A and B are shown apart, each in its own frame.
Chain A
């Protein structure tokens, strides 16, 4: 395999920049954001240079590696700190650094009034470094470092305004939910080591046929748990909505475009395991299917624009996870949807941030309305993202989502039918809630209830949105042209191993999709046409109430884990004090009591001591007499 000394700089540059910004303190306030942005752009440049170089090589020589040093080596457990850049990781590198750089630029303006802007950029760079390590690590353990690193960055950024207790709690919740997923990843690595004696991707792939199907299923399920935590999939999805407490650029970068898609990366990267573990693969499908509907339903009831978009993210990642569960053919479509989603969702989040910027940080869509005419550019770019996500041709989402729906139907049998219907239904709901968001925000009556008119955002914010919009228009077409991405990823995911019969001709699927999308739009338009109230209606259906409460996900977690956990802690505290420490204290108090009883003999009177001595002497004599007699 080719080696390249450049890879380490992809990670090292943002990492050092982050460290410098944090260590330099206030001194870096004036130039910190500029340096962070330049560093991010340099990382993109390195990635792009590597990409060009990769294209010039033949398929089998495209991957490059770099061994940095021996990280852990104990007995048979050997892990090098090595990086691997192949066709799969380059997609992510370009997405992370590209979208990341745009969001850095956007944040310069968005965060310009924040006193802690330097710290914000330090965290952003830390995130970039960790995310790049995640996709560049050549073994599961290296990936794990990045995996928790992005969790840390996400924690720091969600809690960026942690002086508000609710935000600090949201950050903690995200970290803990992620940690539950991390248990899965840890266990997967342990099982992999016990099975293969190796934790590197290449090593495991090489020996995968020696493993039993139980072992592979176990590894697969644990990896799926990890993916659920990081990608906010059912049943670990509840943190994503609260994560919107972070500044909007963070929501765009971490909680829409990149970090939350790490689960998709993990499953795609582990294709050699999932392909041999049908049960795990089925679970992936089920998780993806549930989440895509779950997120979509929540999205229909949210009034907070960021939370509506977060629900949408959850649902779209559900699509990707479902695609990865479809086997070799699905991986490429999952990655394609991931990339297009990265563009259009980031652009919409940044658009939402732009709206908030002009609306004094108001997030409630019921208090928006008619903003389109005040913020035309934002409205236009948001609209492009909207068309992309609902899958109108020729926008990006059409190419990627349509392929997933088609492949789902092609899975065959009842499974294929169920998955196909679920994805179609998801597409309809997506069209509904996204139309709702667009109407409530940009059209209709003005409901913000104060005199100040919303103003369009500065160019520094609009340019990144514009660039992302270009991506949401064109990326789907470019990636699917001549099945470009599918062939590009072939060496990594071997998609041509099997070929399913077509359940329906592609054109029929596309037409069906477009039909349900149109239905979704029509329902939304008829429901939200005309003037709206600034308050959310109270007497709504049970389903709406449930969706507003996030389908009771928090209630469930609280009643199943949190409250019993708290009771358990209280009881253990009591047991520790009463029983374990109680025994120790009992020994102590017994000795004390015995001591104080015996002490009364020591009354200080010489004469009683003398008497005791005499009695003692007599007793001794008596004893001797008894013994000798």
Chain B
């Protein structure tokens, strides 16, 4: 067992241990869960110290036979792209637990099951980014739906059951298409090199273009639903509105990244030719997502719906960067996944605190918060500025890399995407004006500002947002070699060649 496996299994073991704590001892359960995830977060940081940035292949590789008859292995390993996403997950989980300490109190089931679900989810999230066996990935990919389904349905608000079912069925539909492709790929491998689910071996297959296109679509639609890309997005706003803020953070911040991660790891790596064929279509969808999500966000009256649609716009940027097939676009998209995770976390957590205090998620119910709750207003403001990619904050670096990378290959798409930054100003500033500025509307006079626990929870997120804006180099250094390799393996070279500096 190497460190990666330990990091992955730790949350699951903690979940098992927590199962023995009596459910009425809710405070102890919360503390135990927080401590466990904190340990995981710290352990995952050690993954970085042992990670060799100069190696572009998988590291922390481990492979054990799982189902021998089908040559399925429990095979894990990480490269730069997956490492940063694992870090994103492990860092976000303790923050979410701390930030939403009382979120589980009013749920349909006990707090105990809430935290067990969160911990199981964490294991699955790490697993899905670490799996190097296609079948194992598929298992994690589908298994992730289960805890989220219960987290939305059991602890959410409003139309939670319907939203949970919609989320589950929509995702299952995508998963099913992917399963068909997985089996197809397995069969082709069986004919050519012997049955295997190993990713590196699958990448060497020679597949004729028609089959490749079909298999590609199976994977891509599953990931486009997960990401979500226009027009497969309609489950996200419902799920985000129904879920608790903490669940929404994990859903939008980490789970949806599996979609864009899958596009890099599977769509492009396994089917380079099909990727080339479908790139114009995908870039178009991505551009539509950017603009459409932004317009939808402008029209939202509900604060959670707003954040959900801004995310759809941002996922458009990520997808555009990936399929631009340039080093800048690929690295930028990967960095964007991380940055979006943190900035959405900040937005959702602060919005969650605002909603909890006010008892409403309607934007119009707020007003003048800057005078009542200055600290909360400031955190919301900074999170919002990160959402509109203000230079100096982390999202700017990634958004600009994506745009510049896209421009060198698809100028028109990049130009339209750039218009998104004006819309971003609108969809962030309008709610900021309505919630933070203006006269203090009735019902808001006595709202309490953030308490110490909340401040401690949000501080690291804000810190990461600011520091990564000025000094993204450490993360880019991890991402760059892998991103470059993905682009080269797909058969592309950067239009703007490297100049010796």
Contacts and interface: CB of A to CB of B under 8 A. Distances in A.
A and B: direct contact (Cβ < 8 Å)?
yes
Contact of B407 (A70, A176, A193): A193
Closest 9 CB pairs of A and B: A75-B327, A162-B437, A168-B437, A190-B407, A145-B391, A581-B234, A569-B299, A179-B425, A76-B498
A197 B296 contact: no
A165 B499 CA distance: 51
B411 to A, nearest CB: 7
A576 B418 contact: no
Given A168-B433, A183-B418, A194-B496, A149 B473 contact: no
Contact of B473 (A70, A159, A180, A187): A70
B422 A172 contact: no
Given A69-B471, A165-B438, A197-B499, A75 B407 contact: no
A459 to B, nearest CB: 33
A588 interface: yes
A572 B296 contact: yes
B140 interface: no
Interface string A52-82: 0000000000000000011111111110010
Contacts of B199: none
Contact of B404 (A22, A179, A193): A193
Main secondary structure of the interface of B (DSSP, over half): helix
Contact of A141 (B298, B400, B424): B400
Nearest to A569: B299
B231 A588 contact: no
19 contacts: A71-B397, A73-B476, A74-B480, A77-B328, A77-B401, A145-B392, A145-B396, A163-B371, A163-B438, A179-B424, A180-B422, A187-B407, A187-B415, A187-B418, A193-B407, A194-B408, A194-B411, A569-B295, A573-B299
A486 to B, nearest CB: 33
Contacts of A25: 374
B421 A179 contact: yes
Given A168-B433, A190-B403, A573-B296, A72 B421 contact: no
A44 B411 CA distance: 43
Nearest to B498: A76
A132 B259 CA distance: 41
B53 interface: no
Contacts, number: 159
Contacts of B498: 75-76
Interface string B277-300: 000000000000000100110110
A480 interface: no
B419 interface: yes
A189 interface: yes
Nearest to B438: A165
Interface of B: 166, 169-170, 231, 233-235, 292, 295-296, 298-299, 326-328, 331-332, 368, 370-371, 374, 378, 385, 390-392, 396-397, 400-401, 403-405, 407-408, 411, 414-415, 418-419, 421-422, 424-426, 429-430, 433, 436-440, 470-473, 476, 480, 483-484, 494-499, 501
Q: How large is the interface on A (under 10, 10 to 19, 20 to 34, 35 or more residues)?
A: 35 or more
Contacts of A162: 370, 433, 436-438
A194 B429 CA distance: 32
Contacts of B495: 194
Given A74-B476, A194-B407, A176 B429 contact: yes
Contact of B494 (A75, A163, A187, A570): A75
Point out which of A77, A163, A191, A580 has the most chain B C-beta atoms below 10 A from its C-beta. A77
A340 B333 CA distance: 46
Given A81-B470, A179-B424, 17 more contacts: A72-B472, A75-B496, A76-B499, A163-B371, A163-B439, A164-B439, A168-B433, A183-B418, A183-B419, A183-B421, A187-B415, A190-B414, A568-B295, A569-B298, A580-B231, A584-B166, A584-B235
A51 interface: no
B328 A75 contact: yes
Contacts of B415: 187
Contacts of A406: none
Given A163-B368, A163-B437, A193-B408, A175 B429 contact: yes
B134 to A, nearest CB: 28
A144 interface: yes
Contacts of B234: 576, 580-581, 584
Nearest to B292: A572
A490 interface: no
Contacts of B368: 163
Nearest to B169: A588
B327 A74 contact: yes
A198 interface: yes
A272 B398 CA distance: 29
A592 B53 CA distance: 53
B422 A76 contact: no
A186 interface: yes
A182 interface: yes
Nearest to B419: A183
A190 B405 CA distance: 9
A416 to B, nearest CB: 35
Point out which of A70, A163, A198 has the most chain B C-beta atoms below 10 A from its C-beta. A163
Interface in A135-149: 141, 144-145, 147-149
B60 to A, nearest CB: 24
